[in-house]
Amino acid sequence: MAKVALRVAARTLPKYAHQFSPKKFTQPQLFACLVLKTLWKCDFRTTQLRLQESDKIVRTLGLKTVPHYTTLHKASLRFLSQQNIDRMLKDIITNMLGKQAVVELAALDATGLQSGHISPHYYNIRQKALKNRKWSRFTRWPKMATIVDTEKHLILAIHPTRGPGRDASHFIDILNKLPDDLDIKQLLADAGYDSEANHVYSRKQKSIKTTMPPTVGRKTDKPPRGKYRRQMKEHFDKENYGQRWQVETVFSMIKRNLGYVLPGRSQQTQNGQMLLMAITHNFMIFLLISKELFYRARRRS
């Protein structure tokens, strides 16, 4: 994992943040440390301690000394941005699918994550104490929208946002985060993204066929007014839509392997943590597929 993160970061991030920086560590080295932090599901202090205990990882990353936890924290604020992660996603997608990548079937959905380490038992007690009043800590929560390849479970685009809110509002935003040279033939989404405007934008601007259940709005026997929503009502692709649940599998993989709690307090920090979880998941998929291909080649030989 450290090797993959270091190589991808070296191709997408500048070596140093500034020409007059101390140059004790390179940005790819610090990014690889942050990926390991996400993989270990620990804080910055524990990451520093675990790196100090692992000479092999230190040698792999080419570190002369282990970075202080404050250095890792400042680095996470500096280059865990949407632009940098999008470049890394494009790099890993190109390595796995090729330069002119074609994805036959992709799925879109969003999931909520927990903000802060609060046990469900304490939350239930708090709710009972406040009776009918909702606890303000849970009125807003971090939310991660992703487009995934249903075959390889690879994340193609990610859009961090806040919940609650209708999913259709961030449909165009996440489509614009897809790599320009990525060709998606069909995109599956649940009824939360149902909108004639979303159909039109996806098909006209991105040349992506969309499939969504046309169930938003008041129940009626009349067909939907929009052209594409009417097509969904009359000729719904049930066979391919059955693969939409693959995006739920990706969410399950992320929450089981990397956790579902974001320790960051500010929205900026939580957004960076969600972006880091997405790219770490792609590194894991890359390693898994590479390992399978290696063993297949070994059996043939």
The per-residue pLDDT for range 249-260, each reduced to its tens digit, is: 999 999 999 999
Q: What is the pLDDT of residues 156-194, one digit of tens each?
A: 999 999 988 889 999 999 999 999 889 999 999 999 999
93, 151 in Cβ contact below 8 A? no
Residues of the chain with CATH 3.30.420: 82-291
Across 211-237, average pLDDT: 87
CB 263 within 8 A of CB 165: no
This prediction has a pTM of 0.89
Most confident listed range (184-188, 218-222, 285-289) = 184-188
What does the pLDDT read at residue 123? Answer: 66
pLDDT over threshold 80, residue 196: yes
Q: Under a CB-based contact definition with an 8 Å cutoff, are residues 279 and 81 in contact?
A: no
Q: What is the mean pLDDT of residues 67-80?
A: 93
Q: What pLDDT does residue 36 have?
A: 97
**pLDDT score at 119:** 67
Q: What is the pLDDT of residues 10-41, one digit of tens each?
A: 999 999 988 888 889 999 999 999 999 999 99
Please state, as a whole number, how many other Cβ atoms lie within 10 Å of the Cβ of residue 296.
Answer: 10
Question: Does the 82-291 domain belong in CATH 3.30.420?
Answer: yes
Kindly provide the b/e burial profile for residues 116-142, where b requires at least 16 CB atoms within 10 angstroms of the residue's own CB: eeeeeeeeeeeeeeeeeeeeeeeeebb
Q: What is the pLDDT of residue 231?
A: 92
184: which residues sit within 8 A by CB, 6+ positions away?
103, 106, 147, 156, 178, 206, 208
- The pLDDT tens digits of the residues spanning 103-159 come to 999 999 999 998 876 666 766 776 666 655 554 455 778 999 999 999 999 999 999
Q: What letter represents residue 36's amino acid?
A: L
pLDDT at 28: 96
- 291 Cβ neighbours under 8 A, 6+ residues apart: none
* Whether 104 contacts 185, CB under 8 Å: yes
